[in-house]
């Protein structure tokens, strides 16, 4: 390694100039005695190239860039030797009495005692199976017959022992047991037992209806205060920091809800359990990769896992329960196993989904929000405001977990993402009920009648029976899968802003107006022909050119405190009146705080009031403390707000990305179980990924 201790000397010290000269000479020699090298001084910042003597002058007169001082030059590509060099360097930065290990071998030996290892599990490149248990010794996938090992693309030679795909699993049982070895952590893991709210307000998932119902259902589990409640979260991301989607990498995380609010979402308390490799997302085959985790969760429920508690200085039997999953909408479908688009795209309504196909926009939309209103509400009779009909329908019933499990009891899962050119994907199969009855002729008449109680229409919306139903308690949970609120805010806010400014993914345009004409509603907005030109009448949901300038100017002038959000002004174009490139958290701030202010005095009163009411709903929903009774009021208000959107905005505004979030939030408010998701700021994927 190159000695850089001289960089900490005063630049007037002769040792500094000597060290700089030796450093430049060593670097030039390592590069093959080249004439010019990059200069690491404060001004050049390792970008500009100069002759060696000029680089020495720059270092002496200007000093070395601070970022370069902290940089460790790794000449071996982070090999064992390189890591040993790092460990030898770090003690010099620490107090003299530090006990940091100075070799990779010592570090591995030390960490082994903490059970911080992980398992490498070979996977089929087409996501058909994991090469474990009965498949452990196979050379090819038992389903698609693809080789387990990599192949040389030039020679076709199989690289024996080099797997094409590797799943990394971090076992959760030793990690949960290790948490109880710390006296402070063991004390914090009891927090939920004595800190439940007594004023009826929601501050933590412990205050939720789900928590109460599961405690009542399993009293023996609830009686042990050290038993753990978990939440699972997953999403895909590109580890190479590129804005395209060429590579999708899926971590699976667990959140420990036993901990108090200020600790449960700390990154050091969030457990990374699985690293699902790319380059493609697993899709519905994510169940294949969840197998090791589900097996451990089953073990923690059914078996005896003796654990030492450092706080009480005693042992106990550790058990754990997975309360719910948290994801965005596409991942929701992958985890739950249901369709998230098309005629039955709503995962809650299922076969009762109110869906409409727009001929010109060529997509399904989900409206009929008036069904959620009270029977005597005035909106139900306003034909001209909505779809030209009086609404007499009622909201459909949501199936319970037990009913879903009953319908899917004979469902055969077909995993794997093998590409089939020129052929449609084969639909999953459900074994016929008749054959089941014939094969099980010894069953009683009552059991045969129960077998026949299968809702065939309901089966059509399922792509698989989720692996989570292997957990004995899963079908008893009132809320099993949750949507990430910040993703909902992003989708809704992006649709609103794009439509207002008529840019990006705007919901307005010629096709949207043709749909209105096709449906025979809002005749004043139908496209008209003047001469050879089509003319689109001004819509109440669009800003005029002057209003667009005012709106963008307000966004451009916004300056928030440090850490409040990113610089929104960088994504605003005043000349083109466009807003592009905002991140999820930016849309969250825009939706909850700034959009009502930016629209003040703009738009007609109706659509502006609808947007302000929606922003207020999200703002109240994401508070750290919420009154249960307030949820009932919010539920009534948000239904009216959605009806106002249906009245003032085009039908294609209500695509599945927007409507799914509304439906999920409505039903959680309806049962006063918003807390069953946990307090919203504890479920944001931004906090966990």
Residue 102's Cα: distance from chain center in Å?
38
- DSSP H or E stretch at residue 457: helix 456-459
| Widest pairwise Cα distance in the chain | 98
What's 347's DSSP letter? T
- DSSP H or E stretch at residue 644: helix 628-648
Q: Which two tokens stand for residue 586?
A: 């930016």
pLDDT at 394: 86
pLDDT at 266: 87
Among residues 681, 670, 684, 568, the alpha carbon closest in space to that of 209 is found at 670
pLDDT at 434: 36
- DSSP H or E stretch at residue 307: strand 306-309
Residue 192 to residue 226: CA distance in whole angstroms? 9
pLDDT at 172: 94
**Burial degree of 146 (CB within 10 A; 0-12, 13-18, 19+):** middle
User: Distances from the Cα of 537 to the Cαs of 496, 504, 546, in angstroms?
Assistant: 19, 20, 17
Computed over every residue of the chain, the mean pLDDT equals 84
Residue 683 to residue 680: CA distance in whole angstroms? 5
User: Distances from the Cα of 165 to the Cαs of 148, 151, 292, in angstroms?
Assistant: 8, 12, 16
Residue 484 to residue 496: CA distance in whole angstroms? 19
pLDDT at 245: 59
Residue 353 to residue 81: CA distance in whole angstroms? 61
Torsion of CA 160, 165, 171, 172, to 10 degrees: 180
Alpha-helical segments (H) within 31-160: 52-62, 66-69, 80-89, 104-112
Residue 467 to residue 462: CA distance in whole angstroms? 13
Which segments in the chain show pLDDT lower than 70?
A: 1-4, 67, 69-78, 113-116, 241-245, 419-454, 660-689
Residue 113's Cα: distance from chain center in Å?
33
Among residues 434, 476, 475, 469, the alpha carbon closest in space to that of 451 is found at 434
pLDDT at 448: 42
Residue 406 to residue 475: CA distance in whole angstroms? 10
Among residues 234, 363, 248, the alpha carbon closest in space to that of 658 is found at 363
What's 341's DSSP letter? S
Residue 342 to residue 357: CA distance in whole angstroms? 9
**Signed CA dihedral, 47, 48, 53, 58: sign only:** negative
Residue 604's Cα: distance from chain center in Å?
36
Residue 640 to residue 293: CA distance in whole angstroms? 42
In order, the DSSP letters of 212-223 are HHHHHH-HHHHH
Among residues 34, 58, 38, the alpha carbon closest in space to that of 48 is found at 38
Report whether 526 contacts 512 (CB < 8 A).
Answer: no
pLDDT at 317: 94
In order, the DSSP letters of 472-536 are TTGGG-S--EEE-HHHHHHHHHHHHHHHHHT-SS-S-SHHHHHHHHHHT--GGGS-EEETTEEE-
User: Distances from the Cα of 45 to the Cαs of 12, 24, 65, 66, 686, in angstroms?
Assistant: 21, 15, 6, 9, 33
């Amino acid at each position: 390694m190159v000695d850089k201790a001289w960089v900490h000397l005063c630049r007037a010290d002769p040792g500094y100039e000597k060290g700089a000269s030796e450093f430049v000479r060593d670097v030039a020699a390592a590069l093959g005695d080249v004439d010019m090298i990059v200069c690491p001084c404060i001004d050049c910042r390792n970008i500009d190239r100069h002759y060696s003597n000029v680089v020495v002058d720059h270092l002496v007169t200007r000093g070395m860039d601070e970022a370069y001082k902290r940089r460790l030059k790794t000449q071996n590509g982070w090999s064992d030797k390189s890591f040993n060099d790092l460990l030898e360097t770090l003690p010099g930065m620490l107090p003299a009495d530090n006990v940091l290990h100075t070799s990779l071998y010592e570090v591995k030996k030390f960490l082994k005692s903490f059970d911080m290892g992980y398992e490498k599990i070979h996977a089929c490149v087409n996501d058909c199976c994991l090469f474990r248990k009965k498949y452990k010794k196979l050379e090819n996938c038992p389903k698609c017959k693809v080789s387990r090992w990599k192949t040389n693309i030039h020679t076709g030679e199989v690289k024996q022992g080099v797997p094409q795909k590797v799943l990394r699993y971090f076992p959760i049982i030793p990690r949960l047991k290790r948490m109880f070895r710390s006296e402070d952590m063991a004390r914090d893991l009891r927090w939920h037992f004595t800190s439940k709210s007594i004023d009826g307000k929601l501050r933590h998932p412990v205050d939720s209806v789900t928590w109460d119902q599961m405690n009542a259902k399993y009293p023996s589990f609830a009686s042990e205060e050290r038993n753990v409640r978990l939440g699972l979260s997953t999403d895909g991301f590109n580890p190479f920091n590129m804005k395209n989607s060429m590579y999708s990498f899926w971590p699976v995380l667990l959140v420990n809800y036993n901990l108090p609010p200020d600790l449960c979402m700390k990154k050091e308390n969030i457990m990374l359990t699985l690293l699902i490799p790319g380059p493609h997302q697993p899709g519905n085959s994510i169940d294949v990769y969840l197998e090791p985790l589900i097996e451990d969760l089953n073990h923690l429920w059914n078996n005896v896992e003796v654990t030492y508690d450092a706080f009480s200085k005693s042992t106990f039997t550790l058990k754990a329960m997975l309360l719910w999953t948290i994801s965005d909408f596409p991942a929701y479908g992958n985890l739950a196993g249901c369709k998230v688009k098309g005629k039955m795209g709503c995962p809650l309504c299922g076969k009762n989904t109110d869906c409409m196909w727009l001929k010109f926009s060529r997509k399904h939309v989900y409206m009929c929000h008036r069904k959620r209103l009270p029977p005597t509400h005035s909106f139900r009779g306003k034909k001209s405001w909505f779809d030209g009909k009086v609404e007499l329908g009622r909201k459909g019933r949501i199936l319970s977990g037990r009913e879903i499990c009953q319908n899917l009891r004979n469902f055969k899962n077909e995993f794997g993402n093998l590409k089939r050119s020129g052929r449609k994907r084969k639909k999953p199969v459900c074994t016929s009920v008749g054959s089941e009855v014939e094969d099980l002729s010894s069953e009683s008449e009552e059991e045969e009648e129960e077998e026949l109680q299968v809702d065939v229409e309901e089966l059509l919306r399922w792509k698989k029976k989720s692996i989570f139903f292997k957990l004995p308690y899963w079908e008893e949970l009132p809320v099993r899968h949750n949507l990430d609120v910040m993703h909902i805010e992003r989708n809704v806010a992006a649709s609103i802003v794009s439509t207002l400014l008529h840019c990006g993914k705007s919901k307005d345009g010629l096709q949207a107006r043709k749909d209105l004409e096709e449906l025979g509603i809002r005749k004043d907005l139908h496209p008209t022909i003047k001469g050879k030109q089509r003319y689109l009448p001004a819509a109440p949901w669009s800003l005029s050119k002057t209003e667009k300038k005012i709106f963008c100017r307000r966004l451009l002038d916004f300056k928030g405190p440090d850490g409040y959000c990113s610089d929104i002004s960088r994504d605003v174009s005043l000349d083109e009146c466009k807003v592009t490139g905002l991140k999820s958290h930016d849309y969250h701030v825009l939706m909850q705080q700034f959009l009502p202010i930016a629209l003040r005095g703009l738009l007609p009163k109706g659509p502006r009031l609808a947007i302000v009411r929606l922003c207020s709903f999200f703002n109240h929903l994401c508070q750290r403390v919420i009154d249960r009774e307030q949820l009932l009021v919010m539920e009534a208000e948000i239904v009216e707000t959605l009806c106002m959107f249906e009245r003032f905005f085009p039908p294609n505004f209500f695509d599945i990305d927007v409507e799914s979030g509304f439906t999920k939030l409505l039903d959680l408010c309806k049962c006063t179980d918003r807390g069953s998701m946990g307090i919203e700021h504890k479920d944001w994927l931004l906090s966990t990924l």
